Amino acid sequence: MQMVLYYFCTMLRVENISFAYDKTMVLKNLNFTVKEGEHLAIIGESGSGKSTLLKLIYGEFDLNKGHIFWKENEIQGPKYNLVVGYDFIKSVAQEFDLMPFITVEENIGKYLTNTFPNEKKARIAELLDIVELSNFSKTKVKLLSGGQKQRVALARAIAKQPEIILLDEPFSNIDNFKKQSLRRSLFRYLKEKNIACIVATHDKDDVLGYADTMIVLHNNEIIANNTPEILYHHPKNVLIASFFGEFNELNSYGLVYANQLKMVANSEIKVIIKQSYFKGNYYLIEAKLENKIVFFEHYAALKKGKKTCLAVLK
């Protein structure tokens, strides 16, 4: 009975995997799991192995060491499979494998059955609505922008409702004014359909509010694996803190975000204002603290050279 529950809850198991390009180690001794319908974010610096990890999970590369399982199925690389990939898993990489000379709706519906044409038409319409491309259904893909092509790739990946989807920088080409609603629409759909999701990204807005758990890659290894809330409130190092925004290293307080520093009448943290940066509903203030630079948030711009005091509000 315990074994049945284990497989029901934990769908993806990454067990002690390592991978190298030639002799260059990229990933070393990685272990983590993904539950049914869970959304996992993978963050890390450029070159940390985020994209490589997704490709290993998809079966594009052969592991040097370890195993990857989806339920009871071991995911194998090209040494074992003539065709890369599995029916239960879909991937949207940074290069879109679309057919440029057919329409958006034809690209999305290519792998849907023609047995029930009315159902297929309705399914394509639903997918177009999710990625906000309903007005482009009859447009040939070659005429689309990069961001629109990325949305077609997303729609095509979820067309047959995979059990898990891998997304590599899924919103990188999409205009800012479209990103917010698209993120909400896509991740809401995946949750409603109980589709597990792994997102590799450098943009916190891609995953904060949507990810159940986050993994941080650094120096080939996983240095943190927890909820976004815990990683934000208790960052182990500057790499993790930097993902969430501007931060400071203060001797007596450790890592302090800019929004945790506030102006007060008097304190031991005495600074001189250097610059004010407009950020919309607040200003990011750059100030000099002894021989270092600190940042804090304020409701208004402050005059350069002004002396003031700061307090840490955690």
Q: Which of 3-17, 64-78, 167-181 has the lowest mean pLDDT?
A: 3-17
Give the pLDDT of residue 172: 87
The alpha carbon torsion through 60, 49, 42, 132 (nearest 10 deg) reads: -60
Give the pLDDT of residue 96: 74
- Residue 2 predicted with pLDDT over 50: no
Place of tokens 């200003």: 283
Q: Which residue has the higher pLDDT, 314 or 254?
A: 254
User: Is there a contact between 137 and 124 (Cβ–Cβ < 8 Å)?
Assistant: yes
Instruction: Give the 3-state secondary structure percentages of the chain, helix then strand then coil, rounded to 5.
Output: 30, 35, 35
Across all residues in the chain, what is the average pLDDT? 92
Give the pLDDT of residue 10: 82
**What's the pTM?**
0.90
pLDDT average, residue stretch 228-241? 94
Q: For the segment 164-185, what is each residue's pLDDT rounded down to a tens digit?
A: 999 999 998 888 888 899 999 9
End-to-end CA distance of the chain: 45
pLDDT confidence of 6, banded at 50, 70, 90?
Answer: very low
- Residue 1 predicted with pLDDT over 70: no
What are the structural domain ranges in the chain? Answer: 2-88+162-238, 246-312
pLDDT confidence of 284, banded at 50, 70, 90?
Answer: very high
pLDDT average, residue stretch 12-36? 95
Extract the tokens encoding 157.
């990946």
Q: Are strands 254-257 and 247-250 parallel, antiparallel or unpaired?
A: antiparallel
DSSP 283: E
- Residue 29 predicted with pLDDT over 90: yes
- Domain 246-312, CATH homologous superfamily name and number: Nucleic acid-binding proteins (2.40.50.140)
2-88+162-238: CATH architecture: 3-Layer(aba) Sandwich (3.40)
Residue whose C-alpha is closest to residue 69's, from 136, 146, 163, 209:
163
Extract the tokens encoding 122.
């309705």
Q: Are strands 10-21 and 65-70 parallel, antiparallel or unpaired?
A: antiparallel
Q: Which of 6-20, 221-235, 248-262 has the lowest mean pLDDT?
A: 6-20
Share of the chain above pLDDT 90, in %: 79
- Residue 5 predicted with pLDDT over 70: no
pLDDT average, residue stretch 61-86? 92
Q: Is 32 exposed, middle or buried (0-12, 13-18, 19+ CB in 10 A)?
A: middle
